[in-house]
Chains A and B, each alone.
Chain A
Amino acid sequence: MLGKIASHYFAGKSRLLHEKSLYERLAFSFILKRREKMGLKTGKLIGLAALIAMTAPLALPQKASCEVFELNSLANLFEGVSFDHDMHIEAVSDNCSVCHHHSAGTPPTDATCIPCHLKSAETDSAACNACHVNEPFSSASLEASASNPLLHHKVKPGLKAAYHQNCLGCHQETGGPVGCQDCHALTEKGEKYYNTGQFAPKPGKSSSHH
């Protein structure tokens, strides 16, 4: 299913730019091991299981700069998405809250967050998947939110929805790419799933009764 393969988001010092293919379609934990093996300094490593973690914490602008992330959480039906974090920081004029709400240490911009989070400190992790889970509707997720009476954010978008609502919403307003395949090139499996490309229905084979 979509969203099964965990993706990753490094806010560390190392550059992924030249390691892109290495990291394609690798689960997060696997990547971690591999990095250790390769003797890379892990730095501040933030696991994030999916697509678009728009901007980095303002407090760490140097750490997050010059990075292009490979967002792979949907890398089953789709190729990974190469995400230029730097470019997006610039696009939002260093206002991390545009994407990271209140978790990156900048004051929230969304009116619904302000009453509680106007002065919230930066959270341990500003990664999308620190809050937005992969399977928001699993029995475990539903149970967890139902059994926590103190939880205010009872229903928050899952990781995939959080990415798309954030990214696509902004892209629509700012003229960024909005077509599904503008960001998500289909794999062979994906073409099969959408019955397209090499798996497109042959014309004239229609068996519908209308």
Chain B
Amino acid sequence: MKKLNRRNFIKGSLAGGLAAAATCNAKDAKAAGGDFGGYPDSMGVLVDLTKCVGCRTCEAACNKEQGLPEPDKPFDDFSVFDERREGGLPRRTTEKAYTVVNRYEVEGRAHPLFRKVQCNHCNEPACLTSCFVNAYTKTPEGAVIYNPKVCVGCRTCMIACPFYVPAYSYSSAINPVVKKCIMCYDTRLKFGRPPACVEACPQGVMTFGKRKDMIALAHEKINAKPGKYVGHVYGETEVGGTSWMYLSDVPFAEIGFDTHLGKEPIISHVKDFLAIVPMVLCIWPALFTGFHLLATRKQTNKENSTKA
């Protein structure tokens, strides 16, 4: 099966425009940006937030599966739920943790609500469409993966992602690269196995299957127990749909979900911006050097300042 990469997106979105003519064969231009809607048989995960007990096993599982560095605190240390970033925000994903669980105290709810955060694997990923160097791929299985060898660490995707997912590794000062959840593509998804966090979760918070089946299941669950869930499946339509979707008994806006993203993929907003991409490709070597220098200098500055 053909993989959907940024190039297809450009083809689709510019519909035979300059970019398409310059970069590809017209016959490949199938995936129309804006209404692509995802691969029909792609896999998905339905996260039932009512079931999560905040045990952090998914975090430990991800750490081991992805070979991530030692965490700052043990995975059975629940004081992480009290950690706050700037602006009083709870934890976000980092280059050392592709998934984090956060706690929300909800008035009137018997227990706090716990919410696991990771890449949502958008049908039409803003990280992918925004990447100048074509580092990202949306696989037919649904995962949004990236090629660290191509990434120049420019951080455009970090800004483009509506869910604040991509983080950067600074372990190599010369080549900072993007780091994020890949839906366990390399080790599991591509072999038809569920992600490590899904399998490890003791509560069965996450259900893995074809995305379309997950959508049907979500609505079945909502209808089966009227009043239990809020009547919305987060991710079914947001930004063109995501592979990871959520059910909740608390309005999504109250537990840190952005409910103003709309149904349009982010790509639709950046079409004009994308028109300059082919040009960017032409001047690519120069840009590459530029980004590289910038990234390196920034890191060197950082190191100098920490040394001082």
Interface residues of A (CB under 8 A from B): 1-3, 112, 135-139, 142, 146, 154-155, 157-158, 160-165, 168, 172, 180-181, 193-197, 199-201, 205-210
Contacts and interface: CB of A to CB of B under 8 A. Distances in A.
A1 B209 contact: no
Interface stretch (B65-73, B230-238, B241-249, B253-261): B65-73
Contacts of A158: 204
B198 A195 contact: no
A161 B64 contact: no
26 contacts: A2-B199, A112-B225, A137-B193, A139-B192, A146-B213, A155-B209, A158-B204, A160-B202, A161-B203, A164-B202, A164-B203, A164-B204, A165-B203, A165-B204, A172-B111, A180-B76, A180-B202, A194-B76, A195-B70, A195-B71, A197-B74, A201-B74, A205-B70, A208-B94, A208-B96, A210-B85
B204 A160 contact: yes
A163 to B, nearest CB: 8
Contacts of A181: 76
Given A137-B199, A161-B203, A196 B70 contact: no
Interface-central residue, A136, A194, A207, by most chain B CB under 10 Å = A194
Contacts of A157: 204
Contact of B72 (A135, A193, A201): A201
B201 A161 contact: yes
Given A199-B74, A200-B74, 18 more contacts: A1-B200, A136-B204, A137-B198, A160-B202, A161-B204, A164-B203, A168-B203, A180-B202, A194-B74, A194-B75, A195-B60, A195-B63, A195-B70, A196-B74, A197-B74, A201-B70, A208-B96, A210-B85
B69 A137 contact: no
A151 to B, nearest CB: 13
Contacts of B193: 137-139
Contact of A1 (B85, B199, B203): B199
A192 B74 CA distance: 10
Contacts of A2: 57, 199-200, 202
Contacts, number: 95
Given A155-B217, A201-B72, A210-B85, A194 B60 contact: yes
A157 B199 CA distance: 11
Interface string B84-102: 0100000000111000000
Contact of B224 (A112, A142, A161, A197): A112
Contacts of B284: none
Contacts of A180: 55, 57, 76, 202
Nearest to A111: B225
Contacts of A163: 202
B106 to A, nearest CB: 16
A164 B210 CA distance: 25
A2 B196 CA distance: 10
Nearest to B171: A207
Contacts of A193: 60, 64, 75
A1 B199 CA distance: 8
Contacts of B200: 1-2
B274 to A, nearest CB: 31
A181 B26 CA distance: 59
Contacts of B95: 209
A2 B199 CA distance: 8
Contacts of B49: none
Contacts of B209: 137, 142, 155
Contacts of A210: 85, 94
